[in-house]
Amino acid sequence: MKNFGAKSALVAAAMAGSMTATALPAIAQDEGPIKVGILHSLSGTMAISETTLKDVMLMLVEQQNEEGGLLGRELEPVVVDIASDWPLAAEKARELLTVEDVDVVFGCWTSVCRKSVLPVFEELNGLLFYPVQYEGEESQRNVFYTGASPNQQAIPAVDYLMEEEGVERWVLAGTDYVYPQTTNKILEQYLMDNGVASEDIMINYTPFGHSDWQTIVSDIEAFGSAGKKTAVVSTINGDANVPFYRELANQGIEASDIPVVAFSVGEEELSGFDTEPLVGHLAAWNYFMSVDTPENEEFIAAWHEFIGSDDRVTNDPMEAHYIGFNLWAAAVEEAGTTDPDAIIETIVGLEVPNLTGGMAEMLPNHHITKPVLIGEIQDDGQFFVVSETDDLVPGDAWSDYLPESAMLDADWTEPVMCGNYNTETETCGGSSASAE
């Protein structure tokens, strides 16, 4: 493994590159800045979550420039607003790659956004670093998945509820798009494999921005009145979370009655809530602002200074951008170029610090290693960590719990070079290797 500190070790990485198997000779660079595309929703239903990701990317670019940029060149951020509009996201991605001529893109939140832009990055051989938990069942050569796959978030959350809370009935509640649908398909199979009867699983989907939760919450309460401990596993995304939790409180549903574990509610979303009714509910992430490490303390201090407010919080997707940016920067320094093919070859096996005291390694399947944390919401909008994995968990591109993907693997290194390699037939299913 090649191990790099977040910032100062990047130069050392470049010097060490000539001694590594994957290193490439330095390539002369054009004059002018290295352009970093930032592709996030700054308006619409997802702005509540994504605006902060734009801000943290600007901070990371500024920090890198203060340390001399990369390859002796300044970094220039290029920000676009995809406005929570997925066809627009594809248009803006193409604009970044063909008009703005960016060297790399950091962006998207929802899986429907990622799937919308994925063909653009494949066609134009661009690089996308995707920072949010997702449903898995995908590995694409031009995409680096720095958020959690289901085995790094959803499965450990269900295990915690089963083992520590004694949950026997399950409400799988999500926004109506690919991430919740596929994640819940995996979870439903996982629950049944663990002896949960189909009648003890309730699945519900709502549109983006859904606001009228009265009937649905009443249904959840009725489902939970069957004499078995019940929990809600929430893949509800964006600003729909605000009225959902408000309605839980309105109907008197407390965490001690029916706990909710969320995969898309973090510190940023909670900063807009009256958190008192949410105390005791849970979230599963790979980072919380409350984690007590020197790396996190330094990151938070830098964030507060950059944003000009000690009240602004940090969250898991921000850490994923931090990790992704540093992995990309390390690969640029080692390869001596921003050329996408060189970065794709060089980045696998690189390690940079995460903010929880461990190391994030880029794996051959373009996912990374992560700890898994379960946090309980506190009245100050922060999370108290109630469970943490002993070891880092490697991201799995293809779920072991779905029969159609259990035999699939992803490996973008020689000689495999495939995102959906069938280990039984020893054949590759295709170049994009993305399940629809």
Q: State the Cα–Cα distance between residues 359 and 352, nearest whole angstrom.
A: 6
CA dihedral in degrees (384, 386, 389, 394; nearest 10)?
-50
Span between the terminal Cα atoms of the chain, in Å: 33
Query: What structural domains and CATH numbers belong to the chain?
Result: 2-148+292-370 (3.40.50.2300), 151-285 (3.40.50.2300)
Q: State the Cα–Cα distance between residues 2 and 350, nearest whole angstrom.
A: 5
Q: State the Cα–Cα distance between residues 131 and 295, nearest whole angstrom.
A: 19
Q: State the Cα–Cα distance between residues 338 and 348, nearest whole angstrom.
A: 15
Query: For residue 12, what is the enclosing H or E element?
Result: helix 9-16
Q: State the Cα–Cα distance between residues 305 and 289, nearest whole angstrom.
A: 16
436 residues of the chain, pLDDT tens digit each: 555 544 434 333 333 333 333 333 333 346 799 999 999 999 998 998 899 999 999 999 999 999 999 999 999 999 999 999 999 999 999 999 999 999 999 999 999 999 999 999 999 999 999 999 999 999 999 999 999 999 999 999 999 999 999 999 999 999 999 999 999 999 999 999 999 999 999 999 999 999 999 999 999 999 999 999 999 999 998 888 889 998 999 999 999 999 999 998 899 888 877 788 789 999 999 999 999 999 999 999 999 999 999 999 999 999 999 999 999 999 999 999 999 999 999 999 999 999 999 999 999 999 999 999 999 999 999 999 999 999 999 999 999 999 999 999 999 999 999 999 999 999 998 644 443 3
Distances (CA, A) of 171 to 149, 154, 257: 20, 13, 13
Report residue 400 CA to chain centroid gap: 20
Q: Which residues of 250-261 are buried (b: 16+ CB within 10 A; e: fewer)?
A: eeebebeebbbb
Q: State the Cα–Cα distance between residues 266 and 56, nearest whole angstrom.
A: 15
With contact defined as beta carbons under 8 Å apart, do 122 and 140 qualify?
A: yes
pTM of the model: 0.88
**Tell me, what's the pLDDT at 20?**
35
Beta bridge partners of 38: 79, 106
**Tell me, what's the pLDDT at 430?**
62
With contact defined as beta carbons under 8 Å apart, do 138 and 409 qualify?
A: no
CA dihedral in degrees (303, 76, 118, 179; nearest 10)?
10
With contact defined as beta carbons under 8 Å apart, do 41 and 47 qualify?
A: yes
User: Among 172, 142, 178, 146, which residue's Cα sits nearest to residue 157?
Assistant: 172
With contact defined as beta carbons under 8 Å apart, do 411 and 421 qualify?
A: yes
Q: What is residue 368's DSSP assignment?
A: B
Strand arrangement of the beta sheet that strand 201-206 belongs to: 201-206, 169-175, 230-235, 260-262, 282-285, 373-377, 383-388
With contact defined as beta carbons under 8 Å apart, do 125 and 342 qualify?
A: no
CB proximity list for 262: less than 8 A, separation 6 or greater: 234, 236, 241, 281, 282, 283, 284
Q: State the Cα–Cα distance between residues 343 and 335, nearest whole angstrom.
A: 7
Provide the token pair at 170: 């399950």
Q: State the Cα–Cα distance between residues 342 and 46, nearest whole angstrom.
A: 33
User: Among 145, 148, 146, 139, which residue's Cα sits nearest to residue 412?
Assistant: 139
